Amino acid sequence: MRQLSWPRLKLSNHKIASTIFICEPCQKTNAGSHVWSRGLATSRKPRPSREQGQPMFVGDTSSERKRSLVHEFDRLPEWPKLPPGIIERRVNTVSRVQDAVQDAFGREYKVKPFGSTCYGADTVDSDIDLVIMDPRRPKGSAPESQKPTRIYNVRQLGKVLSKAGFKVHSVIPSAAVPIVKFLDRHTNLACDVNVNERLGYRNTQLIKRYCMILPLLPYVILATKHWAAGHRWSSNINSYTLAIMSIGVFQTRGILPNLQKAPLDGLPEDTLSVYYANVKGKRGAKKGSRGSKGSPEAQRCDTRFNVKEPNWLPRFFVSSLDDALYIWYRYWGYEHPYHECLIDIRRGGLVRRRKKWSSLPESPEPRLVSLEGEDAVLAMLNEAEQEDAEAAEFPSPEEFDAPLATTEQDEPTGWVRQPLVVRDPFLRSKNCGAQMKDFAVALFQNDCRKAADALEVKLKTHPSFAVLKGLPAITVVSPP
């Protein structure tokens, strides 16, 4: 049976022709059934529109929604290229998810993509991260927010997606951010969806702005992500952490500005400026008491940032990806003072710790592990990961044993035992690098040094290498 192909999106100057989304008329097949432009055969008449109380098929999606979604996935010409049709597939998947959500829960809910697919550090096979926006709770778990509705039950959400034709792989209600993992059978794209956890969407907008200022940044994030996967670091450092680490390195070197430097646009009380994130309570607390495991506690997050830093100019321009990666690997392999500093892009990059990392001797040289002992250290690393499996759903397990940060300059006391501290730009009590143990950091430094040394051999004959070797000493921001 011949099926009609899905109509292709016509991209021109980052806009979409408004007529492309009109459903094509059906064509009769020899069997007498009907084939619609979405590629599904049916012997029934087309279903009524959503206004008549029935779900719409994909072809009826409004052009405004399509344009909005294309804008979310919009890419600069300088960013990594994707084959034709990938953005179209992603737009169709998100649109189908929104149809399913609105059919089951109401038209007021919108589905937004976030993560690396929105700032160019992705590949053809990258999963899509999605968030369902609840207009009744724009500030999340703020004290004045309305009570959550049934859409927040991710088990119920999983059933809705399965009924709509998606292949649901798993529902994880106990995670720090409850999600549903599923596959769109029509586009073969894997997705993770959560309900109204807006920090991921806001930090995506922040990272995207940095990528617009430095178009090489998506390449760096993508390259280090592949490098981390090849060196077995993906379970310790996720792509979001790599993005924050990269921004911090380039801020420290004067290649990127600080978009969260005061004065910030907007007021802290604005609806779009503040979000209250749920953070799991301490481990070991009495079950059922406030702050116990599984009992969320709302933390106020200021998600404002500027589109540029006033009067800022870069110290120098990075001319190639090799140059940028050399700066990255050399920094984390040779230059970062793990025992006394942390990365905080909200404060401009490298910031001195209030208390030094207690596991390291106070020496300017990082501790290294011999290559001969690498297998033994990896075995220790695997054993430690096994011990932490019970708390795997928490982003920063060690932090739950100590008071959280209460002001901008405060640091959770648990950070003194964590060798790699990459402070979240919005959720200030979160260390994105908390999964890195001291022996893992030693191996990480070794791997970064080897990568930097290999790039140095390659770049020695380039004119830019003299500039890279002559970079001034890194600047450390001291706590007030």
**What is the reported pLDDT for 268?**
60
- Kindly state whether residues 101 and 178 are assigned to the same domain: yes
Number of domains in the chain: 2
- Kindly state whether residues 352 and 228 are assigned to the same domain: yes
Q: Please, what sign has the CA dihedral across residues 346, 351, 354, 357? A: positive
The residue from 141, 168, 197 where one domain ends is 197
- Give the CATH number of the domain where residue 189 resides: 3.30.460.10
- Kindly state whether residues 105 and 49 are assigned to the same domain: yes
- Kindly state whether residues 110 and 163 are assigned to the same domain: yes
Contact status, residue 256 vs residue 278, Cβ threshold 8 Å: no
- Kindly state whether residues 29 and 170 are assigned to the same domain: yes
Give the domain range for residue 432.
215-262+315-469
Does residue 283 lie in a domain region?
A: no
Give the span between the Cα atoms of 114 and 73, in whole angstroms: 9
Q: Please tell me what DSSP assigns to residue 329.
A: H
- Kindly state whether residues 219 and 189 are assigned to the same domain: no
- Kindly state whether residues 339 and 430 are assigned to the same domain: yes
**What is the reported pLDDT for 428?**
93
**What is the reported pLDDT for 466?**
65
pLDDT along the chain (480 residues), means of 10: 42 35 36 36 38 38 80 94 94 96 97 97 96 95 88 97 97 94 97 97 97 97 95 88 98 95 72 81 43 62 91 89 95 94 95 80 42 42 40 36 50 90 96 90 95 91 69 66
- Tell me the CA distances in angstroms from 412 to 90, 310, 407, one per residue in order: 39, 31, 10
What SS3 state is found at 95? helix
pTM of the model: 0.75
- Kindly state whether residues 105 and 244 are assigned to the same domain: no
DSSP bridge pairs for 402: none
- Kindly state whether residues 228 and 114 are assigned to the same domain: no
**DSSP letters spanning 223-273:** HHHHHHHHTT-TTTS-HHHHHHHHHHHHHHTTSS--TTPSSPSS-TTSTTT
**What is the reported pLDDT for 296?**
63
- Kindly state whether residues 98 and 235 are assigned to the same domain: no
The residue from 150, 165, 197 where one domain ends is 197
N-to-C CA span, the chain: 72
- Kindly state whether residues 236 and 187 are assigned to the same domain: no
Q: Please tell me what DSSP assigns to residue 145.
A: P
Does residue 145 lie in a domain region?
A: yes
The residue from 197, 226, 246 where one domain ends is 197
- Give the CATH number of the domain where residue 400 resides: 1.10.1410
Question: Cβ atoms within 10 A of the Cβ of 289, count?
Answer: 10
- Kindly state whether residues 155 and 107 are assigned to the same domain: yes
Does residue 291 lie in a domain region?
A: no
